[in-house]
Structures are given as structure tokens and as C-alpha cells.
Structure 1
């Protein structure tokens, strides 16, 4: 149930007794009666309140009722207020005609008819109440329209997100199938060849001199599939909020040297090389396997997109943090793509020239943030990119 707005009625008369008598006549629990002893006081009240009705005495010293009415009709704020004139002067002065000319809705002669006054005030108060109710209903309708509009916009956003999620799911399934098919096909063909050699009795093809290379090839394909599965599991952990890290004291330069050495052969396959710039040892408390995972992701991406250019690894240590910059001289990343590539299943090369699920950078940023660190990229979009991993020093992650 809505609370009723109290209507305001203004009575103007220079005699206090007349004001008190009229007030007693029209006062009601659903209205507020304001008094003014002059036209000037009335104008001040008219500027401060919105009135349902103004009852003006014609004959007042200074500004009379007619002058006050003309001012009211000439002002946007007050021109809509109904005016009822009262006068003790005789009818022969024809005040009523002049009152109607100034825009009055009625003219009453004193002594006032109590029933007539109450009836007229009740009518205008009722109209005022209807006006307030109409405004309230219009405001409710407008609020309802805005809420419906907001719901519609949210529905469109949700629908777009759902469609994007469906596209991402389809793209993801296609990517997973494609990425897993390559190592699986290799393993399948290798096994078929070995079965064929065994069926032909050609045991020399499976001899000790060839077996190590076969095992190495199998291991590479298996490791490729394991990395894909691990990436998918990491994304699932990130989304469920269950990604955890286990920080221990480690020395960063030794870790970078080990990773650069392990990836040297892979870099050679891209016609590139990894150049770790000299820097004194940097000790910190991080999850060694997770930091190694981030560095490997950054170096692997630099080799993939670097176009055979050398990849530089530069370490800069400050009092509270250390920064690792991985720089390549490849195709660069457009400014519009520099945030997109950190989203799951997004890749810098949209034409599919470079393989991968597009999970590495998304996972790496989450791992950096889990260490209270940052991961970002800088590129002019034309040539070369620098990925920067910033980690805090001297703080055990998860402790105050």
C-alpha cells in the first residue's frame, strides 16, 4: 500500500483572525495549510512549496490579491496553481470579473459559506491527490520500463556469452582433437611399423641400435599429450578456484639456465637460439615447478612466433621484486590483441599457422598472479614482443 502525499493549501490574508478562521474551516488530516499575511510572504512560500490551491484575499495593503495572482500566472512554477479569491467588498465593485480575468477559478464573498468553501477545497485537493497518484504511477511505469530494458540488455549479454561459450566449446573440441591427433597418429604409425617388422621377422629393425631413438620419439609424443592434458586440467582448476602453489626457497638464475639448456634443441629446430643475459643470483620464495612452467610457456611462444630470430632472456632485480623479460624479434602483437591473448583459447595468430590450444598465456598469467606477481606484454604490433614476468622478492606467498 502506497503512502498518501499530503496536499498543501495556501491562504493569504492580512488579518490574522481571518487566517485562523479559514484555517479551522479547511484543515484536514490529508492536507497542510500554510498562512501568509502579505503578498510578499505568499510569494516566498510559493517558491518553496507546491500547492494544490491558493486562497487569496483581494484587499491587502501593499501587494493586493490581484497583483499576486498576476505574478503567479507569469511564473512557470506557480502558473498552474488554482486560485480562489475572497473579498469583503460589495458585489457592485465587480471584483469577481477582474478576479476571473487574472485566472481565478472562483470568487467568494465574505462572510464565507462554510459548506461552499469546504466543497471547493475538497475538489482541488482531490485533483491534487489524483495528480500525485498519476505521477507516482508514471514513475512506476518508467521504473518498470527501465528494469525491463535492463533485463532485456542482460538477456542479450547472456545470450551473446552463451553463444560465445558454445563457439569456444566447439573450437576447443576441434583444437583438442587436432592437437591430440598428431602425436597419436605418430604413435599409431610407429606401432604399426613395428608390428609389420615383427610379422616379417625383421628383428634387426628393432635392434638395440635403433631402439633408443624409437623410445625417444615415443616419449616426445607422449609428453606432448601430457602437456595438453595438464593445460586443460590447469584451466579447470583456475575456473574452480582450486589452483594451488607450493612456494619454497629457490634461486632464479639457476632455474632459467636449466630451462634455457633444456629448450636449446627445440630452439635450434626453429632456427633460433636462447640468450640468457648474465645477472647475479636472485633468491626468492616461489613454486619452482610453476615458475618453470611460466618461463617455458613464454620461451616456447617466443620461439614459435619469433620467426627464427634469437630470443633474449633478461633479468632485472630490484629491492622488492624481480622482472624477467623474454624478447623476440618476430611478427609482433597488435595493441588490440595484447589483452585478448591472455584469455583461454586465444592465440596471437588467428590464421592457425601456429599450433596450440591457446592456454599457455592464460595459465601463465594466473600463475603469476597466484604468486602476487604480474605478467604482461609490450609490442609495437609490427616487429618483436617482450613478455614480462614480475615476481615479489622476500615474501613467502600466502603469508602476511
Structure 2
């Protein structure tokens, strides 16, 4: 809604009685009249206010009306104010011509004709109000345009986010269906094979040694399913802010050492070596289960992408923090990929088909951040990768 416009008028005359008479003649509810007894006083008012019209007496001591008009025309703030000159001098003085040369829009002779003065002032006030109203409308339209442009950008950003979310959902469902199907297919095949042996009364298929192998295979497939489910549950907990951290004091070196012992079968299958470097205990207060989860994710990735090269794990204290470094000598990670590998469902390289939901590094970073720490990567293509976890003691 446009605000009501009140026009300001300036009248300048060295005689107070002339000012009062002219003010009484032109005043109205929609305007505000300012009076000045000299050119200097008028200049002061001109710098303070925005006037719709200036009515100047020509003959004033000191700076006369023409000189004041020339100064107004030479100043950016006042050069567009309409000027009307008033003079008691006779028409033969040719003041009107000089007034128009000074930039006046009209010239009035005393004694003033009341209706002519009122009419002319009304015209200039109306023009000023129309101009101000138009300016306010244009400003309102510009604000509206900017708001619409901002809203459009927000809508575009929301649309992009929704499209990204849909793509992530589709990718997630595709990955989950593939990853879940793999262990399930193994279990189904094992079950069908056993049913076939039972149907044929083949007791030799169920010797103690063969049963151990069956149980180990089943256990591997079930553990794979459990890991997938736990990863998805962790993502849900992170999104809802319900990732629990239960700190207790323990030796990080001891935890990592025991964890690496459990990786012996995977190390053998990957045909690589896995070593631990730690010169002394590193004791701190963290969530033992969650920190083990982080290190397990990093070691699993090193085995996955390590290209059968050696994997070195280092645990040490550094400037009030505990550090865990996991280094491999595999395919490495490009600079552009390093910026996205900690996001959900991201893999190191689209050219390497690997297992998993692409959640390990995302979950690991969230766990480390929840401890007040950080996780970084140093890598280059073809030169392996080193992941560094830093935790406050």
C-alpha cells in the first residue's frame, strides 16, 4: 500500500509580512510550507528537505532570487525543483526574461492575483504527487520483482533438491536391492542344495566338516545382511539426531589391535598384508563400539580399494588428540572425488564395482564429529589413500 504524499513548498522573501500572506494563500492539508527570510536560510532548508516547488522573491538583500536559482540549478539535490519568481518590479524591467534564463518555470508580478497563484501552485503540487506516487509504484514493482526472483530461485533450489533426493532414493533402492540380494542368494542356494541332498538321502553331504563349512558360509551371509541393516539404521539415527554416544575410558591401541586380528580372513582373501604401528598406549574417553565401527569402515575400504598392496594402520597421540591413520597403496582418490566421498551413497570411483551401500564414510564422519573430532583424507590417483581420524583425548 502506497503511503500518503505530502508536498513541501518553499517560499523565500525578505519581508515577513509577504511570507505570511503567501503562506496563507497556498497552504492546504496536503502540503507543508517552509519559509525563509534570506537566500542563505533558503539554502539551509533546501539541503534538509525535498521540495515540490520553490517560490522566490527576486529582490532580496545579499543574494537575490536569480543568484539563488542559479545555485539551485548547479546542485544535484536541488536542480530539478521547479522555481517560480515573484517580483514587485514593473514589467518594463524585463525580470521575467531573466527569470526564465535562470531556470524558472513561471514568473508572477505583484500584486499577486489570488486565483492564478493558487491554480499554479496546485498544478505543481499535483505533478509532484503524481511523480512521487509513480516513483513509489515503480519501487514497489521492483521490490515485488526482486521478491519474485528470490522466490523463483528458492523454488528452483527446492526443485533441484527434490530431484536430487529422488535420484538418491532411486540409487539407494537400486544399491540396497543389489546388496541385499547377494547374501540372500547365497543363503537360498545353500538351502536349495541342502534340500536336494535331503531329498536324495545323501548323508555324506552332512558330515561334521561339511556342516562347519555350511555354518561358516551362512554366518558370513547373515553378517553381511546385519551390516547392511545396521548401516541403514545408523543413517536414520543420524538424520533424526538420535545417534547415541556412550563414552568410556579405554586404550585405543588395544581396541585397534583386537579389531585388526578379526580381519585375518579378509586379509587372506585380499592377498595383502595388514600391520599395526603403535609405540605406546593411547588412552582416552570415547564410545568404544562407535570408534571400532569407524576403524572397521576404514580398514574395509582399504581392503576393498587397496589393490593387494600392504595396509598400514597407525595409532598415536598428537597435541592433545588421538590419531588413527589407515593407509593403503591402491587406486587412490582424485581431488574432485575427495570432496564427495563423505556424502551418502558415494563410492570412490564409478569405474570400480564394489560392494556396500556407500554409507561407511558418511557414518564414520558423523561418529567422529559427534566426538568433537575430524576425519580427513590424503590421496592422489594411483598413489593410494591415507585416512586420518583425530579425536580429542
The 3-state SS of whatever aligns with 1:181 is helix
Give the conservation status (yes or no) of the 8 Å contact 1:273–1:309: yes
Q: Distance in 2 between matches of 1:150 and 1:242?
A: 34
- The 5 Å alignment of 1:125-274 reads 125-274=125-274
How far has the Cα of 1:220 moved from its partner? Answer: 0.3
Paired residues, number: 393
| Alpha-carbon distance change, 231 to 112 in structure 1, aligned in 2, over 3 angstroms | same
In structure 2, the residue matched to 1:355 is 355
The 3-state SS of whatever aligns with 2:19 is helix
The 3-state SS of whatever aligns with 1:189 is helix
Give the conservation status (yes or no) of the 8 Å contact 2:278–2:316: no
Q: Which has the higher mean CA deviation after the structures are superposed, 194-203 or 255-264?
A: 194-203
- The 5 Å alignment of 1:1-400 reads 2-318=2-318, 320-393=320-393
The 3-state SS of whatever aligns with 1:86 is strand
TM-score (norm 2): 0.94
Q: Which has the higher mean CA deviation after the structures are superposed, 78-87 or 11-20?
A: 11-20
Q: Which has the higher mean CA deviation after the structures are superposed, 81-90 or 60-69?
A: 60-69
Q: Which has the higher mean CA deviation after the structures are superposed, 325-334 or 118-127?
A: 118-127
String of CA shifts for 1:52-79, please: whole Å, max 9, x gaps. 1011111123332223223333444333
How far has the Cα of 1:233 moved from its partner? Answer: 1.0
TM-score (norm 1): 0.92
Q: Distance in 2 between matches of 1:130 and 1:148?
A: 26
The 3-state SS of whatever aligns with 2:208 is coil
Q: Distance in 1 between matches of 2:288 and 2:27?
A: 83
Unaligned runs of 5+ residues in structure 1 are: 394-400
Q: Which has the higher mean CA deviation after the structures are superposed, 275-284 or 94-103?
A: 94-103
Give the conservation status (yes or no) of the 8 Å contact 1:253–1:279: no
Give the conservation status (yes or no) of the 8 Å contact 1:325–1:389: yes
String of CA shifts for 1:16-38, please: whole Å, max 9, x gaps. 33334333433444333333333
Q: Distance in 1 between matches of 2:316 and 2:38?
A: 82
Give the conservation status (yes or no) of the 8 Å contact 1:69–1:83: yes
The 3-state SS of whatever aligns with 2:209 is coil
Q: Distance in 1 between matches of 2:128 and 2:315?
A: 76
Q: Distance in 1 between matches of 2:13 and 2:100?
A: 19
Q: Distance in 2 between matches of 1:17 and 1:167?
A: 82
How far has the Cα of 1:381 moved from its partner? Answer: 4.2
In structure 2, the residue matched to 1:397 is none
Q: Distance in 1 between matches of 2:54 and 2:185?
A: 93
String of CA shifts for 1:252-309, please: whole Å, max 9, x gaps. 1110001111112212222222211023112222111111111100111111111112
Give the conservation status (yes or no) of the 8 Å contact 1:338–1:377: yes
Q: Distance in 2 between matches of 1:297 and 1:387?
A: 11
The 3-state SS of whatever aligns with 1:388 is strand
Q: Distance in 2 between matches of 1:5 and 1:386?
A: 70
Q: Distance in 1 between matches of 2:240 and 2:35?
A: 68
Give the conservation status (yes or no) of the 8 Å contact 1:322–1:390: yes
Give the conservation status (yes or no) of the 8 Å contact 2:247–2:286: yes
String of CA shifts for 1:140-165, please: whole Å, max 9, x gaps. 11111111111111111111111111
Give the conservation status (yes or no) of the 8 Å contact 1:334–1:382: no
Give the conservation status (yes or no) of the 8 Å contact 1:180–1:225: yes
Give the conservation status (yes or no) of the 8 Å contact 1:264–1:273: no
RMSD: 1.9
Give the conservation status (yes or no) of the 8 Å contact 1:306–1:330: yes
